[in-house]
Amino acid sequence: MLSIYCLNIVYSMNIQGKSMKISIRKAIPEDAHNFTDCHISCWQSAYKNIVPQKYLENMSIEKEKRVENYKNSLTNPGDCSYYCVMYDEKMIGFVIINISHNEDKSGTGEIWAIYLLEEFCGKNYGKILLDFAINELNRIAQKNIYLWVFEENHRARHFYEKNNFSHNGIKREVDWYDKPLVQLQYVLKR
């Protein structure tokens, strides 16, 4: 189980002459509704034209089930750590990291998720979240860090490549969305 020492980290930025502060804090079970709303909204914008539209639409229909899943995950996180990204007391994104559960990847951390609401993309918040995830995994002595990204998600792939990740040649096919999709494994270059 990951033990995280920080409960709230505040980042200040100046965007177009306006001071903006976001905070990253450990998620708690009471965040399950906001986590779910943010998850659905982020997926519906990030994966439009990648994940089938029917799946994206059904995310809202299955909202209560997702809330319960997040309550359970936030109550019993196992090797994962869940973080809320807040702006003006509104959840605008989230980060999930874990110690790899693959036996052949000891000392390896995985970035499971970095998501921001669409209106906060392209403003350097993603870089802050990525750096936060890397720093947390480094802090718990994970010497290797990887993540998975949809092959068709060119925006995310470009973001990771710009931030010192590269595709290591490993692919996997996932069929969770009524159509097979390919994910690429990206690793942090040290």
CB 40 within 8 A of CB 66: yes
pLDDT digits (tens, 9 = 90+) for 98-144: 986 555 656 889 999 999 999 999 988 999 999 999 999 998 877 89
At residue 19, the 3 state secondary structure works out as strand
Confidence of residue 16 (pLDDT cuts 50, 70, 90): low
Read off the pTM: 0.88
Three-state SS sequence of 146-184: EEEEECCCHHHHHHHHHCCEEEEEEEEEECCCCCCEEEE
For the chain, what are the domain ranges?
A: 8-188
Confidence of residue 11 (pLDDT cuts 50, 70, 90): low
pLDDT at 72 over 90: yes
Task: Just give the CATH number of 8-188.
Answer: 3.40.630.30
